Amino acid sequence: MQKGAILVLSGPSGAGKSTMINAASEEIGEYYFSISTTTREPRVGEIDGVDYFFVSKENFEEDIKAGNFLEYAQVHGNYYGTSLKPVRIALEEGKLVIFDIDVQGHRLVRAKMNDITTSAFITPPTLKALEERLRARCTDDESVIIGRIENAKHEIEAVGEYDFMIINDTVEKAVKEFVIVAKAARLKQSREDEAKFIAQWLG
């Protein structure tokens, strides 16, 4: 059975992360895309286990006490967080666990699961290209676009913390590079694996 592994993707909104994952899904083997857990009510059309895991406040707070969250925050009276429970199950099943999280989230994953984590920063070639993409989407108003651009200026400074950088200039090239990174993530050896191998090798 394939080993489970973690692949963290970060990068500005509009960099094309979800497009890339969808385009590469046939080639990267079984994967689990980490989704957030929340105590807010589902919106129309949202599906439990697809968009979010919807749980009660009591359940969420029990999981906080049990240390089951990688990170969590309270926003407008509701909790949001990344539960480690589905992540652990997916790893045991030998899946590649993909996180689409910000720079801060990447640091938290590294702090908790560095041994089995590979990371890639996805970005358009320039800030100007990012701005053009965000405006072309026509999904956000001006204040949101300006906020995303300002955020991107800060996040790009953390690019050196990542194992790989994928410059999403053309989707085809970015997808090819993403497949290589995903396969490399599965080859990463944890310290435990290394110790076992050395013991076997020495016989």
Please list the pLDDT of the chain residue by residue as tens digits (203 residues).
677 899 999 998 888 898 899 999 999 999 999 999 999 999 889 999 988 999 999 999 999 999 999 888 888 889 999 999 999 999 999 999 999 988 988 999 999 899 999 999 999 999 999 999 888 877 778 888 898 899 899 999 999 999 999 999 999 999 999 999 999 999 988 888 889 999 999 98
pLDDT at 155: 92
Q: Could you tell me the residue ranges of all domains in the chain?
A: 1-30+102-203, 35-93
Return d(Cα 169, Cα 166) in angstroms, integer. 9
The CATH number for 35-93, chosen from 3.30.365.10, 3.20.20.70, 3.30.750.24, 3.30.63.10, is: 3.30.63.10
pLDDT at 166: 97
Question: Global pTM?
Answer: 0.86
Which strands make up the sheet holding 96-100, listed edge to edge? 31-33, 96-100, 5-10, 117-123, 164-167
Return d(Cα 85, Cα 90) in angstroms, integer. 9
pLDDT at 1: 61
Question: Which of 91, 101, 93 lies closest to 36 in space, CA to CA?
Answer: 101
The CATH topology of domain 1-30+102-203 is Rossmann fold (3.40.50)
List 73's β-bridge partners, or say none.
80
> How many Cα neighbours within 13 Å face the side chain of 112?
17
